[in-house]
Structure 1
Amino acid sequence: MTTPPAPALSVLDLVPVRTGQTSAQAVAASLAVAERADALGYRRYWFAEHHNMPAVASTTPPVLVAAAAARTRRIRVGSGGVMLPNHSPLVVAEQFAALEALAPGRIDLGIGRAPGSDPVITQLLRMSGTTSDVERFPSHVSDILGLVSREGATVRFSSGGAHRQAPEPYTVHATPAADGTPDVWLLGSSDYSAQLAASMGLPYVFANHFAGEGLERALEVYRGGFRASEATPEPRTFVTINAVAAPSAEEAEARALPQLRMMARLRMNKPLTALETVEEARSALTAEGDPAAESIMDAARARWLIGTGDDVKAQVAAFAARHGVDEVMISPVAGSFDGEAMDAAPGRLQTLELLAA
């Protein structure tokens, strides 16, 4: 039996925050993981955007990307993704143009249209008028593509007064003299972004680490409807997945438990907390005895890759072959045991090291 070739590996980081950990410690732990991923040869390292979640400190991807770029030498760093309806397209373009200037040739701008939080926080984020209109997402993507280009984008304004003149062109650049641009990716968990990415000739990533289903359909829609562009002459995509690798299958299952319980709370709309330690998760699971939560955890567990390094490596290769991609972005969801350093993430580091071995 032929073993599928090993795909390139990348990392998605939500900057998890566990019980007793400060935001500063969580960020320090994630930056250490980014440094290690760089040394291990991972292709890219992306930060997600989420808001007002006790267990997630990745609220501002551009800030985290800048910090990671300063701590790494080779790996591509970027957003997975910036939730564009929360922001002005010009601000996003300026941020990532500046990042491209800081780390030339190493910046990815992944863009999504989901809110990244609950309705109240979404309303606070979107107090910016028309830029918050989700229906304008395609035009805002086009705006960003133009703004970060060397040529810039052209807007037109009508002059006021009694003798209104024809609209006059006004050129806008995200940075004065770009000699490179970030790679722009569209992200999504439904057919919508797959269709949009295909029509615009952009690279596309399906949020498989979060979505329960729809990966095969989204990739089919993207590849089937793709229109070549100068920057992307052929469909370009990879897949994301949650993974935990450890020296033993028992340890891997234990380290997966806190994130599985967090996923169940999300799906059941229960109050969110900081990420439990392994010991806390075990104790709560026994005390609560909630069949509905356990059913959600079992369903999620079936889609995650959990086991020894060799087992998970084989599963990653098979997963990539099944979906016809040469890259897999790992979301290392390994939790921590009581007593492990607050400013480190040994379980996540261990996962990346075993998969790269």
Structure 2
Amino acid sequence: MSQIGHAEPHPPLAHASLELLAMALRARPTTVTELAILARATPAELRDRLAVLVELDLLALRGDDIGYRPPAQTVAALSARVLGDAAHALTTSLAEVDTLLTALPGLITSDLVGSPDGTGGGRELFHGPGAAHDLWRSLILQQHERRSACMMPDARPVLVPDSPLSDAWRDTLGEAEMQVRAILSLADMTRPESRPMLEAARASGVEFRAMRTPPSWFWLTDEAVGLPLRWGDPWPTSALLLRDEAVVSLMQGLYDTWWAQAATLAPTAHPWDAVLALMVDGATLEAASHAVGISSRTGRRRIEAAMDHYGVVGAVALGAAWQRERALSAS
């Protein structure tokens, strides 16, 4: 740690290092010499890549001996560390987190293949055209609480009416009271043929928000997370269900950030719209309230209701969330 309390900068993470780690996790060589043979390289040629992995606690080295660490916990802890230091280099840090998330499913799969005891450790793999739906069914049926969250860059498989997946989704949502937060693409939210399924889902307890381009498909509960084997996949045919507290906690934090950034697309105007429109232009709360013919007290209540609605605190954050919603609705 530095004297001001921030972690010292860690070395850049390259795909070559992650590929070497995945190879090591699968084959479990016990020495650098054995790993070099597998990689068709000399130990000296691997030195830089191994140094990065050791520095990031993804591998341990004692002389020539290699020690292995569970990739899920390490990646989650490292991602949290990267985000915690994001003030120093925000763009680079977030790009590195995306690299880690991209690599995470593949690293866990490699670890599963090479695990000495062969146990899944709370991990399930799903393959085939129905992988995303099968994972979701397993996730929902096994969880103890009714709360879940998801992100779907391409939700057409469940929004197209009278298809096997959409019918199964609607039937499952109707089986019990559920609290679901869903981030969809703006295209899916505004497509006319999506409306019947969106209305049915809302009636079953699903709350929707929209982003122009959601980062990746995934499902999340308080106990588990379902990830595509390729982060960024809009509707995966290979997916991983992971019950790991560290990774679930990381994904919950990221999801809350994306949820705050996403826009609600309400069909009618909000009671606070007129007041907010004036305040965004620079009017005070009192002046805006009087301009629209309400008392300052009523105006304040509407602003408080707007903050609750958008999940933000403060006038600046509220104005940004409100403007983002209007921009998405108008596009």
TM-score by length of 1: 0.24
Q: Which has the higher contact order (CA 8 A, sep 6+)?
A: 1
- Name the TM-score, length of structure 2 as normaliser: 0.26
**Structure richer in strand, relative to its length:** 1
